[in-house]
Amino acid sequence: MKKTKLIHALAILLSPLSLLSPLSTWANDLDALAGRWVAQASDPASGQAFKQILEIKKNRFTFEVVRNGGATALYAEGDVKTESYQPFKAAKFYNIRGGTSAADLQSVDDDRTVIYTLNGDEMMAAVNFDKERTEPAKVTRYVKQAVAEAGKTLVIDKIVMHKTPQSAEWFLCFDASVGEVTKRFNVPDKAYDKDELTIVTDLTFPNVPPDATCKFVMKLDDVAGDECGEDMDNRSAGSFTITDRGTQEFKPEGQWRYTLQWHWK
């Protein structure tokens, strides 16, 4: 995604900004903002529905735009702090890096200050009031995800390897992470040599909340034992937003295409 398009997408989706000057910093307000906030939205042109997911942990944030089916359309992360714009409260997002996924990030030279109100588990944010835009000004409603919604087990069922850049036998190493938990799928000395090959992984992650992100790294090599090292032949990094059941295709190279399948239980 080009930087200009990324900045434009963040301007529309990350929430509103303010041109006011901060009067003071409210560090403790980050405690009130901590957690995962979800907004339901739709594209005015196509009518396609999607989710906006904002997660704040201490002084860090992640933001995702997720299409129906679980595919990530936009991902951003960076630092956040709270400020006072009397009589308003605001959160400043800065040191932003963004892209089409967590594995495709670039620096975004565009700090943003979001004016918000909180009412229990509901956050209201005025969108596009900061300056003249082609998009209409509006209010976006975010709902904080309840702790009770956490607790399902994510299962990464399988990898369907449609095509690989390897010309002969190859070996696979697959590392997946949800939060601080990382699981690995690697069968030592197990060789694969076909396209359109289904590999059952059956990796499980307990206590995963809805709309969490799974990040992964897949490595291939034609020498057994090298596939999990740093000198492997091919490497693909990506992410997907976890839904009840889903699949997502990835194309890291012209000669490499695969699909991941997962579900909750």
Q: 3-state DSSP call for residue 17? A: coil
DSSP character at residue 211: T
Q: What b/e readout covers 159-191, taking b as 16+ CB neighbours within 10 angstroms?
A: bbbeebebeeebbbbbbbbbeeeebebeeeeee
Q: Identify the pLDDT of residue 23.
A: 44
Query: Closest Cα partner for 162 from 259, 262, 71?
Result: 259
Per-position pLDDT tens, the chain of length 265:
455 555 555 554 444 433 344 444 444 688 889 998 999 988 777 778 889 999 999 899 999 988 876 778 888 999 999 887 777 888 888 999 998 877 778 898 888 888 889 999 999 887 666 666 566 777 889 999 875 454 688 999 999 999 999 989 999 999 999 988 899 999 999 999 988 999 999 999 988 877 789 999 999 999 999 999 999 999 999 999 888 888 999 999 889 999 999 998 8
Q: Identify the pLDDT of residue 183.
A: 92
What's the distance, Cα to Cα, between the start and end of the chain in Å? 34
Q: 3-state DSSP call for residue 165? A: coil
Q: 3-state DSSP call for residue 169? A: coil
Domain extent listing, the chain? 3-145, 152-264
Q: Identify the pLDDT of residue 252.
A: 93
Query: Rounded distance, CA 194 to CA 80, Å?
Result: 47
CA 16 to chain centre: 20
Query: Closest Cα partner for 42 from 20, 22, 19, 12?
Result: 12
Query: Closest Cα partner for 37 from 105, 91, 83, 88?
Result: 91
Q: Identify the pLDDT of residue 13.
A: 44
- Hey, what CATH class is 3-145 in? mainly beta
Query: Rounded distance, CA 6 to CA 215, Å?
Result: 21
Q: Which residues contact 217 (CB under 8 A, 6 or more apart)?
A: 174, 175, 235, 236, 237
Query: Closest Cα partner for 18 from 64, 71, 85, 69?
Result: 85
**Fold topology of 152-264:** Immunoglobulin-like (2.60.40)
Query: Rounded distance, CA 55 to CA 37, Å?
Result: 6
Query: Closest Cα partner for 140 from 14, 9, 29?
Result: 14
